[in-house]
Amino acid sequence: MWPRLTSREYQAGLGDRNRRRLRAIVAADERPGILAYAAGEPVGWCAVAPRAEYVRLSTSRVMAPVDDREVWSVPCLFVARGWRGRGLPARLLEAAVQFAGSRGARIVEGYPIDTRGKRTGAAFLWHGPVSSFVRAGFKEVARRSATRPIMRRSVRARATKKSVTRARRG
């Protein structure tokens, strides 16, 4: 819920109130992200939604909008400890791009941490590491901080049945 709320709203809702807010989003069938499962257990999470839903991003100096294009944002990733180091973040990002594309997104944007090759504790990587974004086909488009690039990936337009029919008619 952190990126969806102002600092004051988030702090006021710590605990049950913020959990209820997230449940309300899910109950409204808004699908706030992608889950990865292994043997029926959740092992990873990737938040993804239109950037406008993440009010905190617009007030961030580092994650402020690059331009006025409509983008979907990936503000956080989580991988369970036993599943780290297996490339799961890149697969979650790929799934997030496909999910966003299926809902009309043309650009997906992320705000990863550039560790510059140094080991960094997982607690500091909740935006995801740059290497995972690169593996998932994202490219850097801006950098307002030495360790925080803004990375984007274009989403291929999905052919609709109508457009395929038109293409065949030529």
Per-residue pLDDT tens for 58-89? 888 999 999 999 999 999 998 998 888 888 99
DSSP states along 95-163: HHHHHHHHTT-SEEEE--B--TT----GGG-TT-BHHHHHHTT-EEEEESSTT-EEEEEE-PPPPPHHH
CA separation, residue 12 to residues 9, 17, 26, 44, 54 (Å): 5, 8, 21, 27, 17
Query: What is the SS3 assignment for 46?
Result: strand
CA separation, residue 132 to residues 30, 93, 112, 135 (Å): 25, 8, 9, 5
* Spatial CA neighbour of 100 closest among 128, 136, 60, 66: 136
Q: How many CA atoms lie within 13 A of 18 on its CB side?
A: 15
* Spatial CA neighbour of 32 closest among 91, 78, 88, 87: 78
pLDDT tens readout for residues 94-119: 999 999 999 999 999 999 989 887 77
pLDDT over 60 (residue 20)? yes
CA distance 161 to 45: 32
Model pLDDT, residue 145: 92
DSSP state of 63: T
**163 vs 122, more confident:** 122
Model pLDDT, residue 85: 83
Domains and CATH numbers, the chain: 31-169 (3.40.630.30)
* Spatial CA neighbour of 60 closest among 70, 69, 51: 51
